């Protein structure tokens, strides 16, 4: 709260309307997306399998 109001000079009503993600972005501490690893790819493949088409027969 101190960073938002004193550091950035935000009015209290503006500060309280910020989402946590917006506030972290202002602070420069927004987490970066993790890279897709093998386990994540395999989970996506299992959840969304390719469907066979008439053209490929696969």
What pLDDT does 48 receive? 92
The structural domains of the chain, with segments of one domain joined by +, span 2-47
CA dist., res. 11 & res. 1, Å (int)? 11
CA dist., res. 58 & res. 49, Å (int)? 12
| Locus of tokens 């969304």 | 48
Is the CB of residue 28 less than 8 Å from the CB of residue 47? Answer: no
- Take residue 28 and report the two structure tokens written for it: 């420069």
State the pTM of this model: 0.46
What pLDDT does 31 receive? 67
CA dist., res. 22 & res. 20, Å (int)? 5
Could you read off the pLDDT tens digit of each residue along the chain, which spans 58 residues? Answer: 888 888 889 999 999 999 998 888 888 865 677 888 999 999 999 999 988 666 656 5
């Amino acid at each position: 709260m101190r960073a938002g109001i004193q550091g950035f000079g935000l009015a209290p009503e503006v500060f309280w309307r910020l989402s946590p993600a917006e506030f972290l972005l202002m602070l420069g501490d927004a987490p970066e997306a993790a890279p897709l690893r093998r386990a994540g790819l395999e989970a996506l493949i299992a959840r969304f399998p390719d469907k066979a088409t008439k053209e490929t027969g696969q």
